[in-house]
Amino acid sequence: MNKLIDEILSLVRDLKDGDNIEQTRTRLINDLEHLKKDIYINDFKFKKALKDKNVAFSLLNRTSDDLKLALNEVKVRVDQLNILLNTIPALVFFKDLNLKYQMVNKAYVEFVNSNQTDIIGKSVDEVIRNYDKKRDYNLLEKKVIETGEKVYNIVETVIHNYQPAIISTNLAPVINKDGNIIGLIGVSQDVTQQKLYEVELEKAKELAEQGMKAKSLFLANMSHEIRTPLNGIIGMSQIIMQTDLTEKQNEYFRTIINSGDSLISLINDILDFSKIEAGKIEFDNKNFQIGDILYDISNILSIRAEDKGLEFSYTIDEKIPGILNGDRYRIKQIILNLANNAVKFTEKGRVNIKVILHKEESDNVVLKILVEDTGIGISEEKIPKLFLSFSQIDASTTKTYGGTGLGLAISKKLSQMMNGDIGVESKLDEGSTFWFTIKVKHAEKVVDKVENEDNSIEKFEIREGLKVLLAEDNVVNQKIASFNLKKLGYSIVIAENGEMAVQKFQQEKFDLILMDIQMPVMNGFDASIKIREIEKENPESDPIPIIALTANAMKGDMEKCISAGMDSYLSKPFKTNELLSTLKSFISKK
């Protein structure tokens, strides 16, 4: 544009005459048009540049505002994070790849009794006084950095305020957006009090276990001390009743035996309640027939019911499978408890046991057993007390009918442990219906033989002339056992302790050993183990049956007998038919 202006000025200076004025004028007009056009273009460019400049300034101002906003938001987030980290009571720290502290929270600073500047850039053994460098903690941190794996519950003892403190630490890798590990984060907690509580809890648990053991030992000893004289009382009474007595004398001795049976029942209730309370009850599930259980109960209670002029009966739902699988002893215990109460509290009328199919599932059967009576009944407000431990509906009931109030509590616990329940419907002076439910298995689902308490009696007959070794230190028990065995036609050899029993076993040949458990010199367990060891030296001979005789009745007695090499277990005091049933299980007629 400057060049064009210079050309116009030159044309004006060169204008001298009129000959070239027209030509010069034309050129000037053309040049001025070009100049005008250039001025317009330059003006447009200037205005556009000015506009672009204003837009750029506007964008810069807007970007600056957004940046300030973003920075403020970041600052707020950082402040929130700092508040969060410093509010957490746990010790939080971040370390770089060289395991140097890059950030710690307030709790960590206070724990090590230092400040941020003295911690950042240092390692753990530089920060914590008297740190045990021999521990594997640094290796665990390196493992997190190298493998990216998290590590939990690293327990260490460190010095805090000049006192040992127990620290539990969790470690995790810190990974950036590119997937690279740039350090680790750790969270530690002071678990000193928790560990102290755990130690105290363990001590309390040990004391409780010792208390339970002492209680079990006390009950076992008391059971033994009570059963031993009871065995003499009941056993000698049974022997006397087999002699010529008057009707009145028979009545007296029957009263003695019934009183002894009541005391044995009381002991069994206390032992069962103790086992249930301690959670030590175990169930021995085998195939059984519900009819066999009711038949046994009928044999036990029908005579008592007849003596009181009561009708005693039972019915079984035809839909119930013939063979079931469960603990027949515990089922029998509940039914017998309810039926025995029904007979006890009924003066006229009837007692009836019903078993119905409550529910049938693919693998299980739910039975509902009802015990109906026409007895004294129970008022509605007293029913809630029935299933409480050591509870009777009133004091007059205890005086009139006796009992400890444990039977129903035990029955409730047992039914619940067999996935069932128990209850009662009753009206005062009209009678009661006690019921309970239990869940048992289909026998087809369990490979097992049917267990019948009377099978051995039906299958075997006792043969005479057998030789029995009786290991028993109590003179009264010796007399009772000897009388019953001799009555069966057996010859008896008595050993007064376990050591004598082992010696006599080596010296003579016996068909059976009745082994008391608690004896002087050598107990029944050790004697049985010794006899089994001797038998191993003569593998061609059949092992001799050993039946344990004991006044103990605590959990584990049967297991101890079996582990010692014994074959069966008979709790004292035993009746003649119980001894006979046990003997028939091992000795058959050849």
The answer as to whether 157 is a domain residue is: yes
Model confidence pLDDT, tens digit, residues 535-551: 998 887 889 999 998 76
pLDDT bin (cut points 50, 70, 90) of residue 423 is very high
Model confidence pLDDT, tens digit, residues 513-524: 999 988 899 999
Out of 275, 303, 321, pick the residue that ends a domain.
275
User: Mean pLDDT in the chain?
Assistant: 80
Residue percentage of the chain with pLDDT more than 70: 78
pLDDT at 399: 43
Residue 457, pLDDT > 60, answer no
Six-digit token string for 25 = 């004028």
Q: Looking at the structure, tell me whether residues 56 and 146 fall in a common domain.
A: no
Provide the CATH number for the domain around residue 170.
3.30.450.20
| Cα(218)–Cα(220) distance, integer angstroms | 5
| Cα(328)–Cα(450) distance, integer angstroms | 11
Looking up tokens 């091992």 gives 586
The answer as to whether 280 is a domain residue is: no
The answer as to whether 451 is a domain residue is: no
| Cα(563)–Cα(398) distance, integer angstroms | 42
- Contact call for residues 228 and 551 (beta carbons, < 8 A): yes
pLDDT at 301: 85
Beta bridge partners of 365: 360, 440
Strand 101-104 and strand 286-288: the pairing is: unpaired
Q: Looking at the structure, tell me whether residues 76 and 216 fall in a common domain.
A: no
Highest mean pLDDT out of 173-182, 244-253, 561-570: 173-182
Residue 419, pLDDT > 80, answer yes
What average pLDDT does the segment 469-481 reach?
Answer: 88
Provide the CATH number for the domain around residue 363.
3.30.565.10
Residue 117, pLDDT > 70, answer yes
| Cα(246)–Cα(226) distance, integer angstroms | 30
pLDDT at 299: 81
∠ CA 121-127-128, nearest 5°, is 155
Domain ranges, residue 528: 457-584
pLDDT at 458: 38
pLDDT at 455: 37
Residue 357, pLDDT > 70, answer yes
Amino acid code (one letter) for 153: N
Model confidence pLDDT, tens digit, residues 548-587: 987 665 555 677 888 888 988 887 766 667 777 777 767 6
* The model's pTM: 0.50
The answer as to whether 259 is a domain residue is: yes
Provide the CATH number for the domain around residue 490.
3.40.50.2300
Q: Looking at the structure, tell me whether residues 317 and 408 fall in a common domain.
A: yes
Model confidence pLDDT, tens digit, residues 42-91: 767 767 776 766 667 666 666 666 777 777 777 777 777 777 777 788 89
Provide the CATH number for the domain around residue 209.
1.10.287.130
What average pLDDT does the segment 314-327 reach?
Answer: 91
Model confidence pLDDT, tens digit, residues 486-522: 887 889 999 999 999 999 999 999 999 999 988 899 9
Residue percentage of the chain with pLDDT more than 90: 28
pLDDT at 3: 64
Q: Looking at the structure, tell me whether residues 347 and 485 fall in a common domain.
A: no
pLDDT at 339: 92
- Contact call for residues 547 and 533 (beta carbons, < 8 A): no
The answer as to whether 232 is a domain residue is: yes
∠ CA 14-17-23, nearest 5°, is 70
Out of 412, 445, 478, pick the residue that ends a domain.
445
Q: Looking at the structure, tell me whether residues 303 and 430 fall in a common domain.
A: yes
Residue 443, pLDDT > 60, answer yes
Nearest CA-CA partner of 127 in 158, 168, 157, 155: 158
Element of type H or E holding 251: helix 247-277
The answer as to whether 245 is a domain residue is: yes
CA 74 from chain centre, in angstroms, equals 51
Amino acid code (one letter) for 290: I
pLDDT at 227: 75
CA 86 from chain centre, in angstroms, equals 40
Element of type H or E holding 206: helix 192-241
pLDDT bin (cut points 50, 70, 90) of residue 442 is confident
Nearest CA-CA partner of 517 in 467, 476, 560, 563: 560
Six-digit token string for 420 = 């069932």
Helix (H, G, I), strand (E, B) or coil at 183: strand
Q: Looking at the structure, tell me whether residues 436 and 293 fall in a common domain.
A: yes
Q: Looking at the structure, tell me whether residues 376 and 439 fall in a common domain.
A: yes
Alpha-helical runs (H) found in 88-191:
106-111, 116-119, 124-127, 137-147
What average pLDDT does the segment 344-363 reach?
Answer: 91
Residue 484, pLDDT > 70, answer yes
pLDDT bin (cut points 50, 70, 90) of residue 10 is low
Out of 240, 275, 310, pick the residue that ends a domain.
275
| Cα(158)–Cα(2) distance, integer angstroms | 88
pLDDT at 456: 36
Highest mean pLDDT out of 204-213, 429-438, 571-580: 429-438
The answer as to whether 112 is a domain residue is: yes
Q: Looking at the structure, tell me whether residues 131 and 241 fall in a common domain.
A: no
- Contact call for residues 438 and 420 (beta carbons, < 8 A): yes
Model confidence pLDDT, tens digit, residues 124-167: 888 876 666 555 778 888 889 999 999 998 888 887 777 888 88
The answer as to whether 281 is a domain residue is: no
pLDDT bin (cut points 50, 70, 90) of residue 294 is very high
Q: Looking at the structure, tell me whether residues 55 and 97 fall in a common domain.
A: no
pLDDT at 526: 94
What average pLDDT does the segment 286-309 reach?
Answer: 87
Six-digit token string for 301 = 């209670």
Number of domains in the chain: 5
Helix (H, G, I), strand (E, B) or coil at 520: coil
Residue 330 Ramachandran class (φ > 0 left, ψ -120 to 50 alpha, else beta): alpha
Six-digit token string for 375 = 């007895």
Residue 419 Ramachandran class (φ > 0 left, ψ -120 to 50 alpha, else beta): left
Nearest CA-CA partner of 512 in 563, 549, 562, 473: 549
Residue 386, pLDDT > 50, answer yes
- Contact call for residues 372 and 431 (beta carbons, < 8 A): yes
| Cα(529)–Cα(548) distance, integer angstroms | 13
* Burial classification of residue 259, based on how many CB atoms lie within 10 Å of its CB (0-12 exposed, 13-18 middle, 19 or more buried): middle
Q: Which of 97-111, 205-219, 333-347, 372-386 has the lowest mean pLDDT?
A: 205-219
Q: Looking at the structure, tell me whether residues 479 and 434 fall in a common domain.
A: no
What average pLDDT does the segment 527-542 reach?
Answer: 89
Question: Between 315 and 52, where is the model more confident?
Answer: 315
Q: Looking at the structure, tell me whether residues 330 and 421 fall in a common domain.
A: yes
Element of type H or E holding 219: helix 192-241
Q: Looking at the structure, tell me whether residues 143 and 214 fall in a common domain.
A: no
